[in-house]
Structure 1
Amino acid sequence: MASIRARLVNLALPLLGVKRFFSQPDKLAERIARMRRQRPVRPQAKWHKRFDIREFSSRGYPVVTIEPRGGARPGAPHLLYLHGGGYVMDIAALHWDTVVDLCERLGASATVPLYPLAPEAKAAGTLDQMRALYLELAERYGADNLTVMGDSAGGGMTLALAQMLKSEGAPLPGSLVLYSPWLDATGKAEGQHEIEPRDRMLAVSGLEACGAMYRGELPAEDPRVSPLFGDLDGLPPMAIFSGTADIILLVDGRRLAHRLGEPGMPDHIYREYADMFHVWMLLPVPEAMQARAETVDFIREHRKAE
């Protein structure tokens, strides 16, 4: 059973307006235009006291680096974090808090791109930009020292990026971490439409609309937008976290874990928390602290350089 705090958060989820955003696709364009008039949030001032936080814009989009004051712990990994938000929403304060917390636990540094969003940017171009950033980080830190991770749409982008790197023979990261990953943009997973009314955050119609904005001319089944259908063989070890109250995207995590359970597939862990909602790993609830502790253990276990 979920903790009392998690149950209270779950009750309050409709107040955030996320369900309304995803359940009214006809209003998406207007709402996205309104969001674009606001500057994306940056790490809170309190984090600047303990971390050196810098922002660069030479790539045409902001890239934020986070490093413990005095430098990262010797042997610590470097995190490349790809935020969620349906490929159309800017990064949120909860993303920054999660990344900083992981850096603190690991003694690690991190790179967080505020990647170009849909509908202005499309999947093929955005993934090319993330590939270029990744290769630069691999050159600087060593590919084995990198963990690529993300939540929701960022989790899907994480897996798609790894598949792209593997297909071209590029050096692969030491591990992948996927929080509530969105891995299938077709909207055709069995049972999703039937359970949609019981999901307190997401709606299939809104996900389909966001997916269409992001994929552009690519078919919905293309692994660049639906990496669940891509090649998994030879990918880095990965950790997948889902929640049973994340009704719509729970099926994506389960299907990925099922495929990874086949002979010859990459090492993986799949953690499914009872009664937990979409991207609960980012929220101030006990279950999130447990999931982050498991994340840290997983990353350390698969640090090839150690």
Structure 2
Amino acid sequence: MASLQARLVNLALPLLGIKAFFSQPEKMATRLRKARSEKPQRPKAKWHGKFDIVEENTRGYPVVTITPKGGVAQGRPHLLYLHGGGYVLDVAALHFETVCRLCERLGASATVPVYPLAPEHKAPEVLAAMRSLYGEVVAQHRAANVTVMGDSAGGGMALALAQMLKADGGAMPASLVLWSPWLDATATAEGQAAIERHDRMLAQTGLRACAAAYGGDLPLDDPRLSPLFGPLEGLPPMAIFSGTSDILLVDGQRLAGKLEAMGVTGFEYHEYPDMFHVWMLLPVPEGKQALEQTAQFIEQARAV
């Protein structure tokens, strides 16, 4: 059973309006205009005392770099974090809060791209931009120190990026971390409809609308949108986190099942009973546990 703190958060989730956003796609355009009129979210002031936080706008989109004060120790991890939001919503304060907490735990630095959003920007363009940025990150930090990670849509983008690297012969990161990953843009998997009744954040119709906005002319089962259907051989060690009250549970389960069927041993699958979408971004006991498991996995993957 979920902790009392997590159960209270779950009860309050509808107040955030996320479920309404994903269950009423006909109102998405209006809500996106409102969301994009709001001030962009960045790390809170408290983190500026512990990290040098720099924002650059030279690539056509902002990139936030987080580095421990005094510099990062040699050989420490570097995180390339791809935020969730259905490919249409911007990075949130909770994303930066969690990345900073993880950097503090690991003595790590991080790169957080505020990547271009759909529907104005489509998957091929965005993925090409992330591929280019990854190359810059590796040139500075070495692939053996880099973890590519993301939540929700960012988790899907992280896996799609790794598949691109495999295809073009790029240096692989040390590990991948996928939090509540969205891996099948068709959002038609068996079992999702039953879970949706208990999911207080996501809905299948909204996921498909976001995928169509991001994919443009691509079919929804294209691996650039649905990396679950892309090649899984030769990828870095990965950690997958899924919650049973999240309709994306079935994506994480299927990915883990495919890896196991292939005989892959360098992955971890963590399934949390009764947990909602991207719970690891919140300061509930289960979120803290997932963050610690993530930190341990990143360290272990670098030691292999």
Q: TM-score by structure 2 length?
A: 0.98
Contact 2:143 2:171 in 1 (8 A): yes
Q: 2:108 matched to 1:108?
A: yes
What is the CA-CA distance between 1:266 and the residue it aligns to?
5.5
Which one-letter code corresponds to 2:176 in the other structure? L
Please name the residue that 1:291 is paired with. 290
Out of 97-106 and 264-273, give the one that drifted further: 264-273
Equivalent residue runs for 1:106-185 within 5 Å: 106-185=106-185
Which one-letter code corresponds to 2:133 in the other structure? L
What is the CA-CA distance between 1:74 and the residue it aligns to?
2.8
What is the CA-CA distance between 1:290 and the residue it aligns to?
0.7
What is the CA-CA distance between 1:176 and the residue it aligns to?
0.2
Which one-letter code corresponds to 2:298 in the other structure? I
Q: 2:52 matched to 1:74?
A: no
Unaligned stretches of 5+ residues in structure 2 = none
Which one-letter code corresponds to 1:251 in the other structure? V
Equivalent residue runs for 1:210-289 within 5 Å: 210-246=210-246, 248-265=247-264, 267-289=266-288
CA distance in 1, matches of 2:2, 2:73: 34
Which one-letter code corresponds to 1:177 in the other structure? V
What is the CA-CA distance between 1:174 and the residue it aligns to?
0.3
CA RMSD of aligned residues (A): 1.1
Which one-letter code corresponds to 2:39 in the other structure? R
What is the CA-CA distance between 1:192 and the residue it aligns to?
1.8
CA distance in 2, matches of 1:141, 1:216: 34
CA distance in 2, matches of 1:202, 1:125: 26
Contact 2:195 2:245 in 1 (8 A): no
CA distance in 2, matches of 1:7, 1:198: 12
CA distance in 2, matches of 1:66, 1:203: 33
CA distance in 2, matches of 1:44, 1:237: 32
CA distance in 2, matches of 1:263, 1:25: 37
The CA deviation string for residues 155-203 of structure 1, in whole angstroms up to 9 with x for no partner, is 0000000001101111000000000000000122112234323211110
Flag as ranges the 4+ runs of structure 1 deviating above 4 A.
none
CA distance in 2, matches of 1:8, 1:187: 27
Contact 1:239 1:270 in 2 (8 A): yes
Which one-letter code corresponds to 1:95 in the other structure? H
Identity of aligned residues (%): 66
Matched position secondary structure for 1:104? helix
Contact 1:232 1:265 in 2 (8 A): no
Please name the residue that 1:46 is paired with. 46
Unaligned stretches of 5+ residues in structure 1 = none
The CA deviation string for residues 87-111 of structure 1, in whole angstroms up to 9 with x for no partner, is 0001111101100000000000000
CA distance in 2, matches of 1:151, 1:123: 17
CA distance in 2, matches of 1:169, 1:245: 38
